[in-house]
Amino acid sequence: MSVPCDETEIRRLLEPHAAYGADGMPCVGREAVATLAQALGLTVKETMIVLLDMDIWPERFRRNQGVFSAKQMARLLSRRVFIAGCGGLGGHVASLLARMGVGGFRLCDPDIFEESNLNRQYFCTEKTLGKPKALVSRDGLLDIASYLDVDAHVIAAAPDNLPTLLQGMDAAIDCLDSVPRKKMLEEAAHTARIPFLHGSVLRDEGFAFLSTSSFQLAAMYPLIPAGTDSSAGQNTAGGRRNGLPHGFTAGERACFRKPERFPSLSSGLFGSGNGTLLPCPPLIAIKTKNFIDPRGQPPPPLRTASAFLP
């Protein structure tokens, strides 16, 4: 990215607008960033990346300090993410990533919002009923951050379109609702040589992992083929026999939790600076209720991903 002036001049232009936190770190608000972008002939997103490279934080990301470094935030802003599914999981994932600082999205979902979605789907409102989820989610993301690069496709992800949909993406996030389609996306992501983040939610359970080099879903669901010919709802979160991770009993699933040593899934979205990914977990499974067997029995010993993944 070519910047028309040096760091000293940028700091001079910002001085009337800069604020300083308790730690003395400078930050600038949205209007000041827009003014500077116009002066530099850059987009707002490009300008925020320039500022972060100078360790000057846009106010909208100031609360990310301590979670991410300024260099990591700059890399996050330059990343584009493909999200398959914009419903109960995908809408929340997209909105949180946009607020966190991911700079671009490609959304894919063939469905429209229905009244039964109102209880849980982030971008579903009474005004958006009957409208395509992908298009509504795109507009919602731009309401959160107008500088985002977002394109939306009202189509189902399929083997013939995934190579094109994944072009230019830095990660593929699975928010689909069937195991065959999830496996299909994982295979396509590995072919495209980008990280694959799997997510699934059903009632009070959440299940997620990051895969960068192996077919994790194939190990978890060896009897279910990849493809597009499954009905919705054959989900990887618990509650249905076909949804249980391969090799786990219901009691084991009930006490499965996130090992504290695993870092955040978000670390897979930006490199460590030398073209490699930061360390990421092979699997995270999260329960939202107490890890106690419903029958009152003590939970069985915790099993990690290594118990059933290669």
Provide the pLDDT for residue 104. 98
- Region 3-13: mean pLDDT is 77
Domain boundary among 67, 96, 112: 67
More confident residue, 113 or 275: 113
Q: Residue 200 and residue 241: Cα distance in Å, rounded? A: 15
Q: Residue 120 and residue 290: Cα distance in Å, rounded? A: 22
One domain, residues 50 and 114: no
More confident residue, 77 or 252: 77
Domain count, the chain: 2
One domain, residues 45 and 122: no
- Region 55-62: mean pLDDT is 94
10 lies in a domain? no
22 lies in a domain? no
- What's the Cα-to-Cα distance from 85 to each of 175, 238, 285, rounded to whole Å? 5, 19, 20
Determine contact, residues 80/168, Cβ cutoff 8 Å.
yes
Res. 71: pLDDT tops 90: yes
21 lies in a domain? no
One domain, residues 106 and 147: yes
13 lies in a domain? no
One domain, residues 276 and 135: yes
One domain, residues 85 and 60: no
More confident residue, 113 or 215: 113
Provide the pLDDT for residue 22. 62
CATH number (domain holding residue 302)? 3.40.50.720
H or E segment to which residue 287 belongs:
strand 284-287
What the block records as the tokens of 16 is 């009337």
One domain, residues 132 and 163: yes
Place of tokens 């802003």: 77
How confident is residue 5, by pLDDT bands cut at 50, 70 and 90? confident
pTM value? 0.76
- Region 19-25: mean pLDDT is 69
Res. 308: pLDDT tops 60: no
Task: Point out the least confidently predicted range of 48-62, 136-150, 208-222.
Answer: 208-222
One domain, residues 172 and 61: no
Provide the pLDDT for residue 90. 95
One domain, residues 35 and 165: no
One domain, residues 79 and 170: yes
3 lies in a domain? no
How confident is residue 287, by pLDDT bands cut at 50, 70 and 90? very low
One domain, residues 163 and 216: yes
176 lies in a domain? yes
Whole-number average pLDDT of the chain: 77
Task: Point out the least confidently predicted range of 89-93, 155-159, 194-198, 270-274.
Answer: 270-274
266 lies in a domain? yes
Provide the pLDDT for residue 10. 80
Determine contact, residues 278/267, Cβ cutoff 8 Å.
yes
What the block records as the tokens of 79 is 């990343």
Supply φ then ψ for residue 10, to 5 degrees: -65, -45
Domain boundary among 15, 40, 67: 67
One domain, residues 100 and 54: no
One domain, residues 157 and 280: yes
Res. 274: pLDDT tops 80: no
Q: Residue 31 and residue 99: Cα distance in Å, rounded? A: 17
Determine contact, residues 202/237, Cβ cutoff 8 Å.
yes
How confident is residue 236, by pLDDT bands cut at 50, 70 and 90? very low
101 lies in a domain? yes
Res. 16: pLDDT tops 80: no
Provide the residue range defining the domain that includes 280.
75-307
Beta strands in 154-254 (DSSP E): 171-174, 196-202, 205-211
How confident is residue 21, by pLDDT bands cut at 50, 70 and 90? low
Res. 255: pLDDT tops 50: no
How confident is residue 269, by pLDDT bands cut at 50, 70 and 90? low
